[in-house]
Amino acid sequence: MTMNETTSSLLEPDRDWWRGAVIYQIYPRSFQDTNGDGIGDLQGITARLPHISGLGADAIWISPFFTSPMRDFGYDVSNYVDVDPIFGTLEDFDALIAEAHRLGLRVMIDLVLSHTSDQHPWFVESRSSRSNAKADWYVWADSKPDGTPPNNWLSIFGGSAWQWDPTRLQYYLHNFLTSQPDLNLHNPQVQEALLAVERFWLERGVDGFRLDTINFYFHDRELRDNPALVPERRNASTAPAVNPYNYQEHIYDKNRPENLEFLKRFRAVMDEFPAIAAVGEVGDSQRGLEIAGEYTSGGDKVHMCYAFEFLAPDRLTPQRVAEVLRDFHRAAPEGWACWAFSNHDVVRHVSRWADGVADRDGHAKLLASLLMSLRGTVCIYQGEELALAEAELAYEDLQDPYGIQFWPDFKGRDGCRTPMVWESLPDGGFSSARPWLPIAESHIPRAVAVQEGDPASVLHHYRRFLSFRKAHPALAKGEIEFVETRGSLLGFLRSHGNEKVFCLFNMSDEAATKELPMKRLEPLEGHGFVSEILDHEVKLPAWGAFFARLA
């Protein structure tokens, strides 16, 4: 009997659990420190699982905790099948799985398969010569006759995507840091090694994966130059606007068609185990939704994907929401989306969309309710349930190489990665030592312990609305039909089985009135919003919402 069979028996074996689930993302460095080194760890996650279970989430997604030199804080893996000592041990992970399952939470882990650390034994061997057994496990290429890189590909972290190696006298590809060389998935041995990693964690008891940079797995064998992108098509959702990465159309360094067959192989391994799911991160500013459609089609690749549409700086409006969901449906009529407003790579959404917002809590509650009413699976990022704003850090406090590279025009990702605040204390209840990133003073009054004592807090609203969502399956699994997208009002109908729920949101700081588009509506309660119904009209306060069942 595998560990998966043992621990998962505490959960109902539901192969469809992921469809409409709410997944809570944990950035382990910043969640809870238990050993006093200022860095969060696996035991800290285990200790805080009741918070997530009590919130009403269905699963957790843990950002990388594997052995790593931490140049990119775990997204540079040097051993795929062990825990980095700063986070604990494999036994700590086993205990985490067991406790999560006891609480009814499924566990998804973040797999980084497109690249490794340059300290991974695979790369150490690969760079040692052109003739060793792993010489072709990474993407190596000769220079041009003048010694310059093989082509014009750029790194997301700035500069050329090629790094010269003086031992092999060749360049190697790195789509991210120079210390993150790209694996060559055209090599069947590399694919087998990665599938073995997948199987290792499935046998350890995980319930699924978040697949980092899923569209970066393959490169063009011919190493053709990317074409230029006309200025009007440049979008800063994948990389910040100051990065010339946005000046290219990335059709040769990623998004390659060979990826579809590998994803089928990855899915086949998952299907050997009960109730496993995967969500892929699609990093592309031009074709993100189209790629998500390809990767979730047919029921034989990944279960769901998320692109960057709602993680981009673009202001959220009723028109924008409807446009994104309609575009996804056109691109993926048989696919399933996973939506997030915040994560560990972008400015927190309550700050990103805060221009002109006076009622910060009302705004946060409205956005949370909208996110959890959309068709698709939902990801909540730690601290989102507290309406934490982006932290302002001094340059000398930065840890993120991305922010250090582009400061001050782009301040990096540290502002959304500061430690979770549990108590109204200077250390936030996070650690007895100086934390790896400073805790923002403005976060302390929003700590979990503070909001627990206020029934009107954002934290209680998240709990309330998650419970409301579970009570109405149409909100989690239903179809969606937009009926109002004018001005500040967004209205849509969610339908599942015999249940039809009408959802109306006022996405502004001024009251709004809407004539109800349907008769025989039965107002629903339990969601936390108050509205006034007069005849066939509903009056919504600023950042208000209305929900009704179609009788």
- The string of DSSP letters for 315-379 reads PP-HHHHHHHHHHHHHH-TT--BEEES--TTS--HHHHT-TT-S-HHHHHHHHHHHHTTSSSEEE
457 plus 489 within the same structural domain: no
DSSP code of residue 434: -
Residues 389, 497 within the same domain: no
- In this predicted structure, what is the pLDDT of residue 8? 42
3-state secondary structure of 407: coil
Tell me the per-residue pLDDT of 336-368, one tens digit each, with 9 for 90 and over.
999 999 999 999 999 999 988 999 999 999 999
DSSP run (H or E) holding 536: none
Judge whether 29 and 40 are in contact, CB under 8 Å.
yes
Domain hosting 15: range is 3-115+187-393+441-467
Q: Considering all CA atoms of the chain, what is the largest pairwise distance in Å, rounded to the nearest integer?
A: 80
Q: pLDDT-based confidence at 244, cuts 50/70/90?
A: very high
C-alpha distances (whole Å) from 250 to each of 113, 225, 306 are: 19, 9, 18
**173 part of a folded domain:** no
By DSSP bridging, strand 66-67 and strand 162-165 are unpaired
Burial of 444-478, coded b for 16+ CB within 10 Å and e otherwise, reads bebbbebbeeeeebbbbbbbbbbebbeebebbbbb
* Contact indicator for 439, 430 with CB cutoff of 8 Å: yes
The residue among 432, 467, 502 that closes a domain is 467
pLDDT, tens only, 125-165: 999 999 999 999 999 999 999 999 999 999 999 999 999 99
At 546 the pLDDT is 97
Average pLDDT of the residues of the chain: 95
> What tens digit of pLDDT does each residue of 416-461 get?
999 999 999 999 999 999 999 999 999 999 999 999 999 999 999 9
DSSP code per residue over 185-239: TTSHHHHHHHHHHHHHHHHHT--EEEETTGGGS---TT-PPPPB--GGG---SSS
Residue 425 in tokens: 């204390």
Judgement on whether residues 227 and 279 belong to the same structural domain of the protein? yes
Q: Which residue type does 344 have?
A: H
484: CATH? 2.60.40.1180
Number of H helices, E strands in the chain: 14, 21
C-alpha–C-alpha distance, residues 59 and 244, integer Å? 37
Average pLDDT over residues 76-80: 98
Confidence grade of residue 11 (pLDDT, cut at 50, 70, 90): confident
At 310, which amino acid appears?
Answer: F
User: Quick one: pLDDT at residue 9?
Assistant: 44
Structure tokens at 334: 């048989």
Same domain as 91, residue 32:
yes
Of residues 212, 220, 284, 400, which has the active-site annotation?
Answer: 212
Rounded to an integer, the average pLDDT of 220-235 is 93
Q: Residue 1 above 50 pLDDT?
A: no
136 labelled catalytic: no
Spatial separation of the C-alpha atoms in residues 262 and 481, rounded to whole Å = 34
d(CA 533, CA 546): 10
In a domain, 288, yes or no: yes
Summarised one tens digit per residue, pLDDT across range 87-126 is 999 999 999 999 999 999 999 999 999 999 999 999 999 9
As given in the structure block, the two tokens for residue 494 are 């969610």
Measure the CA angle with vertex 451, ends 427 and 45; round to 5°.
55
pLDDT at residue 2 above 50? no
Same domain, 204 and 266: yes
Active site residue 510: no
- pLDDT of 363 reads 98
pLDDT of residue 7: 44
First to last CA, the chain: 49
Q: What is the mean pLDDT of residues 525-531?
A: 96
Residue given tokens 């015999």 in the structure block: 498
DSSP code per residue over 233-302:
G---SSS-TTSGGGGB--SSSS--TTHHHHHHHHHHHHTTSTT-EEEEE---TTTHHHHHHHHTGGGSS-
Determine contact, residues 315/353, Cβ cutoff 8 Å.
Answer: yes
- Percent share of the chain, pLDDT over 90: 90
Average pLDDT over residues 267-283: 96
Regarding whether 209 and 323 lie in a shared domain, the answer is: yes
Within a domain: 432? no
Counted domains in the chain: 2
pLDDT of residue 519: 74
At residue 6, the pLDDT reads 42
Is 216 a member of any domain? Answer: yes
Backbone angles phi, psi at 325, to 5 degrees: -70, -35
Q: What is the pLDDT of residue 10?
A: 59
Question: Which of the residues 16, 142, 272, 334 is marked catalytic?
Answer: 272
Q: Is residue 451 part of a domain?
A: yes
Residue 371 located in a structural domain:
yes
CATH number assigned to the domain comprising residue 254: 3.20.20.80
Average pLDDT over residues 164-183: 98
Same domain, 86 and 41: yes
What is the Cα–Cα distance from 30 to 438, expressed in whole angstroms? 10
Q: Are 458 and 526 members of one domain? A: no
Residues 319 and 230 in one domain: yes
- If asked whether residues 277 and 388 sit together in one domain, one would say yes
pTM, full prediction:
0.96
Q: Which two tokens stand for residue 267?
A: 């899915």
Q: What pLDDT score does 238 carry?
A: 76
Contacts of 283 (CB under 8 A, 6+ apart): 156, 213, 215, 216, 238, 254, 308
Residues 386 and 484 occupy one common structural domain: no
Q: For residue 144, is it within any domain?
A: no
Backbone angles phi, psi at 294, to 5 degrees: -65, -40
Residue 125, domain member (yes or no) = no
Judge if 381 and 288 occupy the same domain.
yes
